Structure 1
Amino acid sequence: MANMYYEENPNSSHDIQELSVTLLGENFRFKTDAGVFSKKMIDFGSQVLLNTLTFKFNDSVLDVGCGYGPLGISLAKVQGVQATMVDINNRALDLAKENAKANKVEVDIYQSNIYEKVTGKFDHIISNPPIRAGKEIVHTILEESFHYLNEGGDLTIVIQKKQGAPSAKTKMEEVFGNVDTLKKDKGYYILRSVKE
């Protein structure tokens, strides 16, 4: 089965829905649609990831595979980070832009296949990687993140144990020389590596 949401232009017919959710103690509204990841609710992995992250005001954060935007938008609103959000899926990006406006958040959102169009370096990179797009893509997100981090910056991802947490952990250790499991919750692992 092709992975619908790992496409530039999903062709599934639209099914717009609006979610009202509380993230990091704030209320948000997110518009979602067919052909985007986790359209009926903010997936559990993203919520576990969000609840593990504490960034400083004005830290720069790159959200890789942002989808319709719950991670970057909520971090920008609640923690005051400078969020940059990228995804390959144009439908998801249009939603993310609408959602940023609806939640009154200034973020930088653009289309990029992983880091292809990303410029500059960041204090933090976060990702709920698109597991169904395959291990190669997930590992590219992990490997190449190193080049887009400031010294002392970190990569934090959420990944399910059964969907490759052990191999992701090994890959992060290889690339960064360190990896910590910040949290485990219902089979989801939050993994962090620091660029030392």
Structure 2
Amino acid sequence: MTGDHYFTAEPTTADRRREVEFSVADHDYTLASASGVFSADRLDPGTGVLLRKADLPTRATTGDLLDLGCGFGPISCVLATSAPAATVWAVDVNERARALTAANAERIGVAERVRVRAPDDVPQDLRFDQLWSNPPIRIGKDELHELLLRWLPRLAPDGVAWLVVARHLGGDSLHRWLVDQSWQVERHASQKGYRVLRVSR
């Protein structure tokens, strides 16, 4: 057994590579994954619900989009494919995840528009038109709240955040907490036990 989690900064588990295939918006993706990152063997079901139920950006979308907790990069790759005029910031504490996201962006031809960064390496003055996340619920409630309190205020004034949370892992309580923090929250969709939340100012 190891102490590694998908939110470990420097995984020590063996770097066993594999490929993950999935489809979103009539586009097929084959991305590299590896042990030591979130949902290494498949597209996480929550991420799948998020990408299929939230309002994806379009060819008309510009500005900066944030993939918070990018893992091996499925959200970043879908956003960059859907919005070729936008810049996607892929942020993760896990260095292996960041390396995979960069490689996958290169693989599908969007690397010039995907900026892969550790959280502290994102420019402080940058504001995001959209924030997308399957947030790391298992880091604990206090740490999750701290994460969202750090990044949600970096939305542009008319920006929107799309979050997916499993109902049994506290999706409804997170909804209430966000409202208590004075965010506008809409339960945009529910599927397979997941809540897709649309969050705005």
Q: Same fold (TM over 0.5)?
A: yes
Of 90-99 and 16-25, deviating more is 16-25
After TM superposition, the structure 1 = structure 2 runs for residues 52-131 of structure 1, keeping only pairs within 5 Å, are 52-56=54-58, 57-80=61-84, 81-105=86-110, 106-112=113-119, 116-119=120-123, 120-131=126-137
What percentage of residue pairs aligned between the two structures are identical? 29
User: Quick one: distance in 2 between partners of 1:49 and 1:20?
Assistant: 16
CA distance, structure 2, for counterparts of residue 55 and residue 31 of structure 1: 23
Give SS of 2:49's match. helix
Give a deviation string over 1:115-166, Cα, whole Å, max 9, x none: x333210111111011111112221232223321111111210000110112
Distance verdict in 2 for CA 1:154–1:15, change over 3 Å: same
* SS of residue in 2 equivalent to 1:39: coil
CA contact (8 A) 2:4 2:13 kept: no
Inter-partner Cα distance in structure 2 for 1:140 and 1:93: 21
Q: RMSD of aligned C-alpha atoms? A: 1.6
Counterpart Cα distance in 1 of 2:38 and 2:56:
24
Moved over 6 A (4+): none
TM-score when scaled to structure 2? 0.89
Code of the residue aligned with 1:55 in structure 2: it is P
CA spacing shift, 1:44–1:159, aligned 2, 3 Å: same
Give aligned pairs, total: 192
Unaligned runs of 5+ residues in structure 1 are: none
The one-letter code sitting in structure 1 at the alignment partner of 2:132 is I
1:181 aligns with 2:192: no
Q: Deviations over 1:20-42 (max 9, x none)?
A: 32222112121100100111110
Could you tell me the TM-score, scaled by structure 1's length? Answer: 0.91
Asked if the contact 1:183/1:189 (under 8 Å) is kept, the reply is yes
- What residue ranges of structure 2 are gaps of 5+ in the alignment? none
